[in-house]
Amino acid sequence: EIGMTQSPGTLSVSPGERATLSCRASQSVSNNVAWYQQKDGQAPRLLIFSASIRATGIPARFSGTGSGTDFTLTISSLQSEDFAVYYCQQYNNWPPGAFGQGTKVEIK
């Protein structure tokens, strides 16, 4: 079973700064990775699929890159509404659709 490891666990960033979140798969998952944002008390929201394609309505400041085992979610200029927990998920070997453990982006 493929494992997804996210780093760092917590990222402290000032508004307007860039945030870079990493996700590593235990074996190649091609580009079959999605990213989600989750705010307290809310359901997850799909940001990115196929490693780099923004979902409908997602602002251009969110971008995804990577293939194989290493993936990155970048938020180019953090807005107040972007402070949340972010999860990656692989779906190359589905089921199961393994999630990473999450990265919390907090205000510095």
Residue ranges binding other proteins (CB under 8 A): 32, 34, 36, 38, 42-46, 49, 55-56, 87, 89, 91, 94-102
Which residue, 16 or 81, is less far from other proteins as judged by CB? 81
Which residue, 13 or 46, is less far from other proteins as judged by CB? 46
Least CB distance from residue 74 to other proteins, whole Å?
19
Going 18 to 34 to 10 to 1, the CA torsion angle's sign is negative
Which residue, 29 or 78, is less far from other proteins as judged by CB? 29
Least CB distance from residue 17 to other proteins, whole Å?
25
Which residue, 1 or 81, is less far from other proteins as judged by CB? 1
Pair 90, 25: CB distance under 8 Å: yes
Least CB distance from residue 45 to other proteins, whole Å?
8
3-class DSSP assignment, residue 6: strand
Least CB distance from residue 32 to other proteins, whole Å?
8
Pair 87, 100: CB distance under 8 Å: yes
Beta strands in 1-108 (DSSP E): 4-7, 10-13, 19-25, 33-38, 45-49, 53-54, 62-67, 70-75, 85-90, 103-107
